Amino acid sequence: MTSARSHKDSGPLRRTGRTIGHALRTPFTGTARGIRKATHAHGAGESGLGKLIELHAVNGAGDVMITIALASTVFFSVPTDEARGRVALYLAVTMAPFTLLAPVIGPLLDHLPHGRRAAMAGAMLARAVLALTMAGAVATGSLELYPAALGVLVCSKAYGVVRSAVVPRLLPPRFSLVKANSRVTLAGLLATGIAAPIGAGLHTIGSAWPLYGACVIFIGGTVLAFTLPRKVDSSKGERKAQLVPPYGVTAPGPNRRGTGRRTGRRRAARRTARSGRGCGPWGRPY
């Protein structure tokens, strides 16, 4: 009798728990379905562009988390006089080397046509590790924060270079490259706007919590990068660009004097003089 009563009493409790769980789960599942429907519309799901859109949204969310942590640590958490020194140190250790390294990242990645998924996943995973390093530096006040921030900037630049090479390989039918790039960029901006208040809320818990959130986001991006189609790594249809001098301009050889531009101008002047013989002032024959 006692077991029967307990079973009857547990029935309503179980149903109530299921109802509450379903009510709490429905907004998240509905939001996820809406995002998936928006990113995979117009053939983007079949071509793989939808997954790249989601990956770029994850990238934007992780970057804004790190930006919030850096802004609160370097600029806003100390008095103005001390902040000036930190800003100068940040510019010297982080931005100055990045200015020198940024033009080199693109040509280096161009030599790796096979492995774009691995490169994007590596950029995500590296930023996850660097976010943890920065969290430890924020907690202890160590100077490791600035080299780690430099590493985050380099990885973010590398991801952007690889993403630009991936988009043309994932175009759906009757889908222009401009439209695809705009959709990817819009997803990143929306994710940044959504993640910014979340990062600010995490910062109220602790200055390192936005970095922990960035670490989790970038780990998810690492997994998502490997779900891109394999054709991303293919170099089929690619040709190396060759620089060809313009028509009428001869490239100077090792034993020639002057430049090819001058040679082309001389030849063009000779042709003009020959064609103008026997003509009036307006180019008409007499």
**Residue range 219-243, pLDDT digits in tens:** 999 999 999 988 887 766 555 555 5
The answer for residues whose C-beta is within 8 angstroms of residue 220's C-beta and 6 or more apart is 58
Is the pLDDT confidence value at 7 over 80?
no
Determine the Cα–Cα distance for residues 232 and 255; give it in Å rounded to an integer: 45
- pLDDT confidence of 1, banded at 50, 70, 90? very low
**Residue range 67-123, pLDDT digits in tens:** 998 887 776 655 556 666 667 777 777 777 777 777 877 777 766 667 889 999 999
pLDDT attached to residue 207: 86
Residue 144 near residue 187, CB atoms below 8 Å: no
**Residue range 161-188, pLDDT digits in tens:** 899 889 888 888 888 888 889 989 999 9
Listed residue (102, 105, 152, 108) closest to 128, CA to CA: 152
Q: For the whole model, what pTM was predicted?
A: 0.69
- pLDDT confidence of 36, banded at 50, 70, 90? low
**Residue range 230-284, pLDDT digits in tens:** 888 776 655 555 555 555 555 555 454 544 455 555 665 566 555 555 455 444 4
pLDDT attached to residue 82: 60
Of the ranges 15-19, 21-25, 90-94, 198-202, the best mean pLDDT one: 198-202
pLDDT attached to residue 115: 83
Determine the Cα–Cα distance for residues 41 and 268; give it in Å rounded to an integer: 54
pLDDT attached to residue 101: 76
Listed residue (225, 116, 107) closest to 169, CA to CA: 116
Is the pLDDT confidence value at 144 over 90?
no
What are the structural domains, with CATH classification, of the chain? 47-233 (1.20.1250)
Of the ranges 20-24, 181-185, 212-216, the best mean pLDDT one: 212-216
How far from chain centre, in Å, is Cα 114? 19
